[in-house]
Structure 1
């Protein structure tokens, strides 16, 4: 029985280590950290640098669908004017699902702490590796 438990523990530690060391997931976590840092210093353009700069970018929010990088940027600027409107953003990354070698689906929670009132919700994003870089190609935030 002890041998079985040791084997099972080793098996699960190998699985967890492989997942934790997945270079794609590590890079995506870095991308999400870049988003936080840009947002929290009031840099919406830097925040948007993590998105696919394409007319095919899809953003789904409470007002419906938005297509395109520029339209998404303009919507962010309207919804979160200035540093007071942007506040401080935090993420809780809940799920990472590898869909293919160049595609991930990520689910998480977001929280915005602001003097004008806090906001929070959930998001799901689809990321693709494009020209060697991970980019958000679809974002559903609520």
Structure 2
């Protein structure tokens, strides 16, 4: 009898976790869609709202590791000084998982359509954490 109750308990818990995962996944994807829209409007400041506003934020790119929200923001402003350089951003999602409670892992591809500067594309890995009820990127590794 106890094994039966335990099995029902596991099924119920799994179902509840899945429902939460689906909701969280939608929130994360909505943030990414908003980021793409912000980028395409030339609004890097608003684009940064998807990132953890902390000195512990980590951005890994072709020049190495950048620590901190402000340094990451300044790096974006330096690398993308105008709309022609920014281009139009499109994200493609390759793999999405929740390796633990309050943590999400996303691998994807980005493409910048830039008629004047030449297109740019690459892959990214994002580590998300739910902090104070909001999903934020705590580590971004982007190649391209």
Aligned length: 125
Which residue of structure 2 lines up, in the alignment, with residue 109 of structure 1? 109
CA RMSD of aligned residues (A): 1.4
Distance 2:92 2:76 in 1: 21
- Structure 1 runs (4+) greater than 4 angstroms displaced: none
1:42-61 paired onto structure 2 within 5 Å: 42-61=42-61
Q: Offset at 1:82?
A: 1.2
TM-score, normalising length: structure 2: 0.83
Q: Offset at 1:39?
A: 0.2
Which residue of structure 2 lines up, in the alignment, with residue 3 of structure 1? none
Distance 1:51 1:38 in 2: 13
Unmatched tracts of structure 2, length 5 or more: 1-14
- 1:36-66 per-residue CA deviation (whole Å, 9 max, x = no partner) reads 0100000001100100000000000000000
Unmatched tracts of structure 1, length 5 or more: 1-14
- Secondary structure in structure 2 of the residue aligned to 1:52: coil
Distance 1:109 1:76 in 2: 18
1:24-63 paired onto structure 2 within 5 Å: 24-63=24-63
Distance 1:39 1:91 in 2: 11
1:47-126 paired onto structure 2 within 5 Å: 47-115=47-115, 116-126=117-127
Distance 2:27 2:133 in 1: 11
